[in-house]
Amino acid sequence: MAAVASPPPDASLHSIVRKKLGGFVGFANLPNQYHRRSVRKGFHFTAMVVGESGLGKSTLVNTLFNTSLYAKKDVPLPEHDRPQTVAIESITADIEENGVRLRLTVVDTPGYGDFINNDQGWKPILDNIEARFDAFLEQENRVNRQKTIDNRIHACLYFVEPTGHSLKPVDIEFMRRLHQRVNLIPVIAKADTLTDDEVAQFKARILSDLAHHRIDIYQAPQYDLEDEETIAENEEIVRKIPFAVVGSDTVVATSDGRQARGRAYPWGTVEVDNEDHCDFVKLRQMLVRTHMEELKEHTADVLYEKYRQEKLLAMGVAQDHSVFKEVNPAAKMAEERALHESKLAKMEAEMKMVFQQKVNEKEAKLKQSEEELYARHREMKEALEKQRVELEDKKRRLEQGRPLTPEKAQQSTKKKGFLRA
């Protein structure tokens, strides 16, 4: 049979012909299929909040999703009664809007400012993020991947204290440790405590600190294909980072008689949803309306992928450069069999070595006890010989010193006379 030369891998690309359709075929409906399937399956998103204690993390989470995630038995807890977060805890809620279901998980971390030594405060948080990557990696390697659960953190809101100066060393250390593992979104907490000018200056200082320390925060991508309106929307969102936010899940009366979520002060009301008052709306827009899928994609394709590569390389799994070659199942099986056999041979050699070692030890022990036995035998023999010699000696002496019996005396005289004759 004549061998058929396989075409070069990219030959199929050269043979692509662009065709104009004569009529409607129907695949233009594909996005609608995707839309229907997504709505049926629902969406999920996991966000983490990190920052010093009491900066309003829990309050902002409630404000963001317009639901009291921190509620006991459906009874919302007032802001001031909300317990302090003392351990990393996840809260999951199923929320629905216009028939679209979103399973939202918020990972609340304890504020780190309470500890005298905050040097290692980032560690449990980083461990938590990496443990989620590990869990996903473990699921990917399972035979049955039907029920893969994605618990990876898609966005991490990092709360900066509204000092108006610059980032604190502890903030820099935290973000430096986390930025390669999670989409970092810095927010200036309790922005109602700063004036507009202070907010603008503080933002510039934070951005220059981040650039100086080479900390990558999440960058909303600008796609070429997007329409102008979306591009402008994106640009506006990017311009607002780090978002200066105000959190409140209580409704207050505004100066013009409206009811709005906000914080009431003697001099006026700060409205959470008013873009002239803070960047809360822009943050929510980015997280929920425009970039939720993008944040998930960046987590999966860039951050997780990098972690996965590092992890596998550390485990000694080398990059398979044959990925672009055609996969030959027989060769793959032969390769696997050879690998298995070499593993077995290695195990056998190890077992033999252990066995030989044990035999040697046993032999050495036996030799030692044999020598001991010989030594004991020799000692006993010598002792007995000594005893015999002593007894002989004693006997001789006894015989020499004892008077002769009449028969013996007669025998002795006879012997003497005979000798004389």
49 by Cβ neighbours in 10 Å (0-12 / 13-18 / 19+) ranks as buried
Among 67, 68, 85, 290, which residue interacts with ligand GTP (rule: CB under 6 A)? 85
Q: Does 79 bind ligand GTP (CB under 6 A)?
A: yes
- For residue 55, the tally of other CB atoms under 10 A from its CB is 22
CB of 235 to ligand GTP, least distance (A): 26
When computed from its CA atoms, the radius of gyration of the chain, rounded to whole angstroms, is 44
Q: Say if residues 176 and 125 touch (Cβ distance below 8 Å).
A: no
Q: Could you tell me which of 84, 134, 93 has the C-alpha nearest to residue 111?
A: 84
Q: Which residue is nearest to ligand GTP (CB)?
A: 56
Q: Does 183 bind ligand GTP (CB under 6 A)?
A: no
What's the CA gap between 117 and 120, in Å, rounded? 8
- For residue 350, the tally of other CB atoms under 10 A from its CB is 10
Task: Using CA atoms of 233, 237, 240, 244 in order, give the dihedral in degrees to the nearest 10.
Answer: 120
CB of 112 to ligand GTP, least distance (A): 9
- Terminal Cα-to-Cα distance of the chain (whole angstroms): 130
Q: Does 58 bind ligand GTP (CB under 6 A)?
A: yes
Which one, 58 or 269, has the nearer CB to ligand GTP?
A: 58
Q: Which residue blocks in 188-254 are alpha helix, DSSP H?
A: 196-212, 228-240
Q: Does 46 bind ligand GTP (CB under 6 A)?
A: no
**DSSP annotation of 196:** H
Among 53, 68, 166, 290, which residue interacts with ligand GTP (rule: CB under 6 A)? 53
78 token code pair: 């007032």
Which region among 82-90, 318-326, 363-371, 380-388 touches ligand GTP (by CB under 6 A)?
Answer: 82-90
Which one, 86 or 366, has the nearer CB to ligand GTP?
A: 86
Among 47, 50, 56, 286, which residue interacts with ligand GTP (rule: CB under 6 A)? 56
The size of the interface with ligand GTP (CB under 6 A), counted in residues, is 20
CB of 288 to ligand GTP, least distance (A): 19
What's the CA gap between 12 and 270, in Å, rounded? 61
Among 161, 192, 233, 249, which residue interacts with ligand GTP (rule: CB under 6 A)? 192
CB of 193 to ligand GTP, least distance (A): 6
Which region among 49-57, 122-130, 171-179, 227-235 touches ligand GTP (by CB under 6 A)?
Answer: 49-57
Which one, 57 or 284, has the nearer CB to ligand GTP?
A: 57
Among 44, 132, 152, 190, which residue interacts with ligand GTP (rule: CB under 6 A)? 190
Which region among 8-16, 39-47, 187-195, 363-371 touches ligand GTP (by CB under 6 A)?
Answer: 187-195
Binding mask 110-139 for ligand GTP (x = CB under 6 A): xx----------------------------
The number of residues making up the chain comes to 421
Task: Using CA atoms of 391, 394, 398, 400 in order, give the dihedral in degrees to the nearest 10.
Answer: 120
Q: Could you tell me which of 153, 133, 286, 301 has the C-alpha nearest to residue 219?
A: 286
Q: Say if residues 46 and 107 touch (Cβ distance below 8 Å).
A: yes
Q: Which stretches of the chain bind ligand GTP, using CB under 6 A?
A: 53-59, 79-80, 82, 84-85, 110-111, 190, 192-193, 246-247, 263
